């Protein structure tokens, strides 16, 4: 058996197509109020959530199906996805409401690294959905959280995976990604909440119909004034947990993926010709695990 355990599950053409489609839907959902007219109904972001949620669910299923079709995964892979989503949902309430300390983010970084970008995106979105049901945090923000966490986890699966990158070096790369991506997650989610602040006299509120550059300046001021400290707590905890327990968890996740035979290619060999007077050799099976 040949194993290269540092490489995440790779994307195939169908997986790439599904991920591009769902990401385009997400980008439009977050950004279209910035380009709408002042009197347009689309600037009312709260009404987008049910439609976005209805579009997001079949797209998530499409990503799973495409990843399985490209990589030949089976029910064990989907079961592992469900277990990780349940663990992540259980971790989220442990730090909710305390200076942005959310331990689920480090689990998403490590899981995305091992599972790859396709399953990583679905894992992030499903975990956020399950945690919202668990904590009672269901609201118009939920589908936007699902998209943001999907991108967060997918990004870890897109990180470079050279064969020589192991141990401390890999953990440093993942912790650096977790630090930056934690701020990116908070910034993207701020965009969803900020557009609800319309017509206020404050210099940081969203002004429908205003020039894009003017609204972006207001948005940056809004981020600094309202959530920079919260995002810093999330980023710092992600780095600490990744550097302290990340190595152990990475080994456990990779051991589980090997047992699930992710991307295993099976070769059947026929019996070799035996020498005169010897019993025939048995048929052999070779597993090539990437």
CATH number of the domain that 50 lies in? 1.10.1760.20
Mean pLDDT of 100-116: 87
For residue 269, is it within any domain?
A: no
173 pLDDT exceeds 90? yes
- pLDDT band with cut points at 50, 70 and 90 for residue 282: low
Answer whether residue 197 is part of any domain.
yes
User: Which tens digits make up the pLDDT trace of 2-61?
Assistant: 444 445 667 778 888 888 888 888 888 888 878 777 666 555 555 666 667 777 777 777
> 252 lies in a domain?
yes
Distance, CA of 213 to CA of 33 (rounded, Å): 14
Q: Are residues 204 and 221 in contact, defined by beta-carbon separation less than 8 angstroms?
A: yes
pLDDT tens digits, residue range 67-99? 777 666 667 777 888 888 889 888 887 765 565
For residue 276, being part of any structural domain is answered with no
pLDDT digits (tens, 9 = 90+) for 219-251: 898 888 888 888 998 999 999 999 999 999 999
Q: Is residue 270 part of a domain?
A: no
- Arithmetic mean of pLDDT, 144-154: 90
Q: Mean pLDDT over residues 141-166, rounded? A: 84
In-domain check, residue 286: no
Rounded average pLDDT over 250-256? 87
pLDDT at 240: 94
Nearest to 34, CA basis, from 245, 189, 215: 215
| Per-residue pLDDT at 276 | 60
Range of the domain at 254: 2-263
Residue 259 per-residue DSSP state: H
Q: What average pLDDT is seen over the chain?
A: 77
Q: Is the pLDDT of residue 289 over 90?
A: no
Confidence at 284, pLDDT banded by 50, 70, 90:
very low
Q: Residue 122 pLDDT more than 80? A: yes
266 CB-contact burial (10 Å; exposed 0-12 / middle 13-18 / buried 19+): exposed
Give the mean pLDDT of 257-262: 66
Q: Give ∠ CA 224-102-251 in degrees, rounded to 5.
A: 125
Q: Examine residue 164 and state whether it is found in any structural domain, yes or no.
A: yes
Residues 247 and 106: beta-carbon distance below 8 Å: no
Number of domains the chain is built from: 1
What percent of the chain is helix, strand and coil (3-state, nearest 5)?
Answer: 70, 5, 25
- Asked if the model's pLDDT at residue 126 lies above 50, the reply is yes
In a domain, 227, yes or no: yes
The pair of three-digit structure tokens given for residue 97, joined into one six-digit string? 């409401």
């Amino acid at each position: 058996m040949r194993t290269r355990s540092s490489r995440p599950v790779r994307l195939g053409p169908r997986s790439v197509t599904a991920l591009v489609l769902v990401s385009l839907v997400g980008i439009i959902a977050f950004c279209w109020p910035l380009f709408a007219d002042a009197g347009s109904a689309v600037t009312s972001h709260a009404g987008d959530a049910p439609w976005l949620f209805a579009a997001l669910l079949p797209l998530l299923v499409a990503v799973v199906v495409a990843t399985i079709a490209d990589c030949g995964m089976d029910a064990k892979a989907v079961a592992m996805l469900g277990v990780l989503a349940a663990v992540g949902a259980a971790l989220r309430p442990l730090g909710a409401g305390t200076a942005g300390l959310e331990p689920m983010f480090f689990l998403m970084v490590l899981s995305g690294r091992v599972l790859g970008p396709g399953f990583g995106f679905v894992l992030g979105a499903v975990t956020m959905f399950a945690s919202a049901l668990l904590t009672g945090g269901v609201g118009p923000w939920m589908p936007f959280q699902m998209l943001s966490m999907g991108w967060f986890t997918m990004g870890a699966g897109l990180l470079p995976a050279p064969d020589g990158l192991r141990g401390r070096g890999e953990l440093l790369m993942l912790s650096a990604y977790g630090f930056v991506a934690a701020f990116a997650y908070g910034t993207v989610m701020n965009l969803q909440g900020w557009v609800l602040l319309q017509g206020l006299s404050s210099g940081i509120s969203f002004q429908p119909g205003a020039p894009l550059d003017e609204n972006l300046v207001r948005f940056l001021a809004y981020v600094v004034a309202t959530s920079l400290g919260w995002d810093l707590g999330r980023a710092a905890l992600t780095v600490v947990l990744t550097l302290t327990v990340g190595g152990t968890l990475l080994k456990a996740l990779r051991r589980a993926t090997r047992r699930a035979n992710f991307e295993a290619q099976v070769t059947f060999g026929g019996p070799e010709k035996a020498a005169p007077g010897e019993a025939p050799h048995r048929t052999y099976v070779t597993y090539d695990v990437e």
